[in-house]
Amino acid sequence: MIRIGDFKPTKEHIDIVNEIIKSGRLTEGVYVARLERLMEKYLNVKHAILTTNGTVSMQLIAHMFRTPATVCVPALTFPATINAFLLTGNKVVLCEVNQLMQMDISTLTEEQKKEIDVIVPVHLMGMTVEMDEIMTEAKKYGWYVIEDAAEAFGAEYNGKKVGTIGDFGSFSFYMSHNIGCGELGMVVTNDDILNNLLRSKKNHGRKGDPLKFFHDYTGSNYKTTEFMAGMCYANMLNVNDILEKRLNNAKYFFEKVDNENLQNMPILKGMSPLGYCFRCYNEEYKDYICKKLNDNSVETRDMFPCLKNQKAYKGMFNGDFEVAEHLEKVVFYVGVHQHLTKKDKEKIVKILNDN
């Protein structure tokens, strides 16, 4: 099976895991600290805080706001983005997306903009949201900006890494993501006070000596393990090579797939693809071509359903989200991970071109 994401251990992975086992320190320790410093340098940000996974990274950020805040998220995204705020007692409103599946705040009314306290642009599939527009409006209306960069590690917008432009950035290093290591997340911020508060709240609200039981805040356990940090650290030793291979694989599909029933999604400046997306002209063909790929051992994924249509949120949202509701039916993607071989890519292209 040619999968959406894959993992092949290197000598660095094995050596680091063995080192951690021999150290006897399995929870947060040397490799968590090393990876946080490495991430701060790579992203050019003051503070990187590792967490259990990308979902709880967003939940940790959600705890920074007095509830109920009104939080605006795009109508097309993975449920983790919205659950973080609903589960912390906030009100969520949806924003339409554009044809590239990115948040389109031009569709918000003046009344909606005045109501919003927090906005969450999601850099879906490693493509970048128009952050200049969002930051301008955020300044005008007093929004806090949380970038959901779970699927876009390494992507850049106007020379800045996504996740570092707003007040907070949330990342995921899930297995199939850009720098996948299993289950690991991260919050980044340039605010010293918020950094201290985030670190406290991710460790039960402790303050001061982590070995003493002094709790200044309510909090929970969002900590990670040395194993996950060590695996991600090993990946980061080759980060530029990994991201370059993934981008080149996406470019290969963009250039080689020629099927009149498919629209190849563009390769955008600064993108860091989670996978490569195709847009079909109707839902029936999407189902047909995905079945054909899967029957030939090529794993595919449909685009996330519009949040309005998810059973978990039935009746929660008003309004029409025509673009999001259309894209959920006609978009699918294949993997672009760094372990794809030339033979793998040729096989995928052959199936897609044989319409």
Position 212 scores a pLDDT of 84
334 three-class SS: strand
Question: What is the per-residue pLDDT for 222?
Answer: 96
Catalogue all structural domains in the chain, each as residue range(s) with its CATH number: 11-236 (3.40.640.10), 239-353 (3.90.1150.10)
Q: What is the pLDDT of residue 254?
A: 98
Q: So what's the pLDDT on residue 355?
A: 75
- Name the 3-class secondary structure at 10: coil
**Secondary structure (3-state) at 101:** coil
pLDDT of res. 208: 78
Burial (CB < 10 A; 0-12, 13-18, 19+), residue 134, is buried
d(C-alpha 7, C-alpha 211), whole Å: 35
Task: Report pLDDT for 348.
Answer: 98
| pLDDT, tens digit only, all 355 positions of the chain | 999 999 999 999 999 999 999 999 999 999 999 999 999 999 999 999 999 999 999 999 999 998 899 999 999 999 999 999 999 999 999 999 999 999 999 999 999 999 999 999 999 999 999 999 999 999 999 999 999 999 999 999 999 999 999 999 999 999 999 999 999 999 999 999 999 999 999 999 998 777 789 999 989 999 999 999 999 999 999 999 999 999 999 999 999 999 999 999 999 999 999 999 999 999 999 999 999 999 999 999 999 999 999 999 999 998 899 999 999 999 999 999 999 999 999 999 999 999 7
How far apart (Å, rounded) are the C-alpha atoms in residues 342 and 47? 39
CB atoms within 10 A of CB 212: 9
Helical pair 342-353 and 239-256, crossing angle rounded to 10 deg: 30
Helices 239-256 and 226-236, axial angle in degrees (round to 10): 70
| Amino acid in position 327 | L
